[in-house]
């Protein structure tokens, strides 16, 4: 089975967000702008999820983890996904939490463990 590329994972973020009624904003950084922010901001009712996408098996950088801590400190959420499965797992849990189906907790995002 061929590995998914980061480009395919990014495309899946947009498609799956739309299916769930979330709004996905792809963030593109330019030289001179603060680095390390997530690739996508996912907006749901009352919440924002910073979603960092990586090629399968790749880890977030130390700076990206610092940005994750900042988002969490300001009451928002952060996750790293390196597969379409991770995207679906994370966005499904985020969407459920946004509509009040269940409380939003860090445990809903398996990729967030060890961030705080």
Which CATH number is 100's domain given? 3.40.1350.10
Rounded mean pLDDT of 65-92? 93
Q: Per-residue pLDDT for 104 more than 60?
A: no
Is 101 a domain residue? yes
Which residue bears the tokens 């907790």? Answer: 105
> Is residue 1 in a domain?
no
Domain count, the chain: 1
Q: Is residue 66 part of a domain?
A: yes
Q: Does residue 32 belong to any structural domain of this protein?
A: yes
By residue range, what is the domain housing residue 93?
6-111
Name the percent of the chain lying above pLDDT 90.
63
Average pLDDT over residues 27-45: 88
Query: Residue 23 phi/psi, 5° resolution?
Result: -110, 120
The answer to whether residue 33 sits within a structural domain is yes
The pTM score is 0.82
Rounded-to-integer distance, Cα 72 and Cα 8, Å: 27
Task: Label residue 41 exposed, middle or buried (CB < 10 Å: 0-12, 13-18, 19+).
Answer: middle
Residue 116 maps to a domain: no
Catalogue the E-assigned strands of the chain: 23-26, 40-44, 47-53, 77-81
How far CA 36 is from CA of 40, 98, 109, in Å, comes to 12, 25, 20
**How much is the mean pLDDT over the chain?**
85
């Amino acid at each position: 089975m061929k590995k998914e590329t980061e480009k395919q994972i990014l495309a899946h973020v947009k498609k799956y967000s739309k299916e769930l009624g979330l709004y996905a904003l792809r963030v593109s950084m330019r030289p001179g702008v603060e680095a390390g922010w997530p690739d996508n901001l996912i907006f749901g009712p009352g919440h924002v999820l910073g979603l960092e996408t990586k090629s399968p098996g790749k880890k977030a950088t130390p700076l990206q983890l610092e940005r994750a801590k900042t988002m969490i400190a300001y009451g928002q959420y952060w996750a790293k996904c390196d597969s379409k499965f991770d995207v679906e797992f994370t966005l499904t849990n985020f969407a459920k939490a946004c509509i009040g189906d269940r409380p939003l907790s860090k445990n809903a995002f398996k990729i967030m463990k060890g961030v705080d």
